[in-house]
Structures are given as structure tokens and as C-alpha cells.
Amino acid sequence: MFLAEFPDGQVIAVILMVLFAGIKSLMEKIKSQQGGSSDSEETDYDPMAEFYEETSRQLHEQRETVLSRQQGFVEASPPPLPPVYVAPAPVKRPQIKKPTLSALEQEALKNLQKQKVKEPLRKRPRLGTARARALRVLSSPSAARDAVVLSEILGPPKGQQS
């Protein structure tokens, strides 16, 4: 749980520092038991000891933070406020003027409408002509297929066609 929040490189560095600090403290205890002077140790400046204390303090704070989060003591920050919507200014549409016809144009329009002759949409062929029969035969796909088959059967042989 605790190690999952740190990248691997940082975790390894912290563990190595803790190990070095532990080894150093063991060496100091062994020296003190053998009769080394404690006055010289107090006067010597030891940057590793300060670094060890600072690192252990930071680790302790981080552990407390993680534990308090897991137990739910840390209140979650409120969700961000939604963005403020500002309505765009209304767009004024230009007024379109309808074109008006002059008197001469209106008279020309009336004359054109009088001259127009309605033509039938499609001229139907008379039923008795060959064209009408051909249109009836070819009016559907099946009828057209039948016409092709009949022309193959009843028409001249392939060898004599040029």
C-alpha cells in the first residue's frame, strides 16, 4: 500500500539511505562500547546524520498522511465549479427586401402566362403500331429476356450473321 504511491527509483534510494544510516549508527554504538570518546562525536559535523533524520521525518509524515487517507480522516477537496456560461450576444440579421416587379415586368409576365400551352407529359403510342407492341414486350425484365431468347431461336443462325 505505502510503496505503491512512490516511483521505484525513489523507494530504492530511501531504502538505501535508511540502510546506510542504520549501519552507521551500529558502528557508532560499537565504538562507544569499545571506549571511544563521546565528546569527539558531538563536536564532529555529520551531514549524513542530518540527512537521515530529515529523511526519516519525511517518511513518518508520509506514512501518517497515507494512513489518515486510508482511514478517511482527510476530507476530500470539493469538486471544481462548473464553467460559467456566457450567452453570446444576439446577432442582428439583415432584413431582406423582396424584389418588386415594375409595371412593364408584370405585363410581360401576364403575356408569358397566356402564351404557355400545356403539353402532355408523355405521348402514348397507339396500340396497333409495331412500336407499341415492342414497348409492351420490353416493358418488364422477364419480357425482355423472353424476347432475346426468341430472337436467338427464331433468328438467322450465328454462322450466317455478318
- Break the chain into its structural domains and give their ranges: 3-71, 130-157
pTM of the model: 0.21
Q: Which three cell numbers stand for residue 52?
A: 537521515
Taking CA atoms, 12 is separated from 9, 16, 121, 140, in Å, by 5, 6, 91, 85
Are 19 and 83 in contact, with CB atoms under 8 Å apart? no
Gap between the Cα atoms of 24 and 49, Å rounded = 9
**Contact residues for 108 (Cβ-Cβ < 8 A; gap 6+):** none
Q: What is the pLDDT along the chain (162 residues), one digit of tens a residue?
A: 454 555 677 788 888 889 999 999 999 989 888 875 555 445 567 888 888 999 999 999 988 888 877 776 656 677 888 888 888 888 888 888 888 889 999 999 888 888 866 655 566 656 567 777 777 767 778 877 887 888 888 888 777 776
